Amino acid sequence: MTPLADMSLLASFALIFVSAAFTDNILLARFLGMCSCLGVSKKVDTSLGLGAAVIFVTACTSALNYLVYQYLLLPLGLDYLRLITFIVVIAAFTQLVEMIIERVSEKLYNSLGIFLPLITVNCAILGISLFMLNKPYSFLQAFAFGLGGGFGWFLAITLIGAIRERINEAALPRGLEGPGITLIIIGIMALGFIGFSGMIKI
Amino acid sequence: MPSPYTKILKDGLLGENPIYRQVLGICSALAVTNLLANTLFMCFGVIFATALTNFTVSLLRNHIPKRIRMIVQVVIIASYVMMIDILIKAVAPDIHRFIGPYVGLIITNCIIMGRAEAFASQNKPLPSLVDGLACGLGYSAVLISIAVVREIMGFGTLLGFALPARDLWWTQWTIMVMPPGAFFMLAIMTWFARAKLVKQEAK
């Protein structure tokens, strides 16, 4: 397999996107963003809304955090401040987006806006920024990683939402209702996604 | 008569156990529980962060303006998590390589924010410290029990030590140390815990 650095830009972009979305799915393989996933995935509509917001925010914040880390923290030797910097960048970015959306489009605000505060505490976003540092990505590749990670989360939560809508009426043991059965669904989906692993290795 | 501290401790460990009762903070519960050693470090980090964050938030509770309290809490949490991150990196670099990103993710662990918001912002510092400790311990108890099962079933080891004569009779359930195993284990444990709660409430 050719190393990432030798590939054409487009090829490495596509490869990172697919691997972040499928083989290394942030929810099913890395366990991130579970809390909001369990809370919001009761319906497909809300899953779609939150998923879309997450794609947007992860893609932008991973790019932003990449720049901040490479050009501000590393040269100044402030590597250890990365956690606090990243979370502040993410919180400030979501706040900003919320304000912009509120001004620009009321319709968009009503469908996406309510999810934005939830996103600050969604560990998938911070997680993607942190995992990104483990690999020697360029700026565009980091963006692809964020985009792919967000898309993977979107895909997982939408599928879970669809399944949960179906089993809404099913008779379950009392103790298994809610989080219990959802975790089992996610477990089975994770089994399915293992099938993707081995497809790509970076 | 039991002191208020005993009650807080008991609530955190059993009655209001963050994972079973409130289903909070399970991201890290799943990710680090494939090996007991990783789990122990993670638990230490969470206990440290919940306890001290609760304490600090409670000390400052009358000075933080309501509107910006979220961001203040996040900064407080992030500072403690940073300390843990540096500490674990120094003490156990091998383990840090694996759980590093998840240690950073303690910041967004909803348990910490949840307790700061629900308890520490309305109570005195000392009870808040105990509450943080109790919730951290309750969380750790669940994590450790999941980790023990997953490591034994998945690798046939415990804390890295092999079961006696493992190769003769033990077939490793590799699936248990992979992601699905974590989901199934947590599902089963929540099922039991909730079924018990339902029974108690029916009484």
Q: Where are the domains of chain A?
A: 14-194
pLDDT single digits (tens) B25-70: 677 667 777 788 888 888 888 888 889 988 988 888 888 777 777 7
Chain A, residues 115-144, CB within 8 A of chain B, namely: 120-123, 126-127, 130-131, 134
Output phi, psi for B173, to 5 deg: -90, 85
Assign A184 a pLDDT band (cuts: 50, 70, 90): confident
B23 and A CB contact within 8 Å? yes
Per-residue tokens: B40:
């122990």
Selected residue of A182, A183, A194 to mutate for chain B interface (largest B Cβ count, 10 A):
A183
Assign A202 a pLDDT band (cuts: 50, 70, 90): low
Mean pLDDT, all residues of chain B: 80
Distance CA B172, CA A182 (A): 26
Q: Which residue has the tokens 């034994």?
A: B152
pLDDT single digits (tens) A77-120: 888 888 888 888 888 888 888 788 778 777 777 766 666 766 77
Query: B182 to chain A: which residues are within 8 Å by CB?
Result: 31, 187
Distance CA A126, CA A129 (A): 5
pLDDT at A94: 83
When CB atoms are compared, the residue of B75, B183, B192 closest to A186 is B183
Residue whose C-alpha is closest to residue A155's, from A64, A60, A10, A24 = A24
Q: Would you say residue B1 has pLDDT above 50? A: no
Q: How many CB atoms lie within 10 A of CB B44?
A: 16
Query: A47-77 burial, b for 16+ CB within 10 Å, e for fewer?
Result: bbbbbbbbbbbbbbbbbbbbebbeeebeeee
pLDDT single digits (tens) A13-72: 888 888 888 888 888 887 787 777 777 777 888 788 788 888 888 899 999 999 999 888
Q: Which residue has the higher pLDDT, A159 or A176?
A: A159
Assign B14 a pLDDT band (cuts: 50, 70, 90): low
pLDDT at A151: 92
Query: B194 to chain A: which residues are within 8 Å by CB?
Result: 174-177, 180
Assign B173 a pLDDT band (cuts: 50, 70, 90): confident
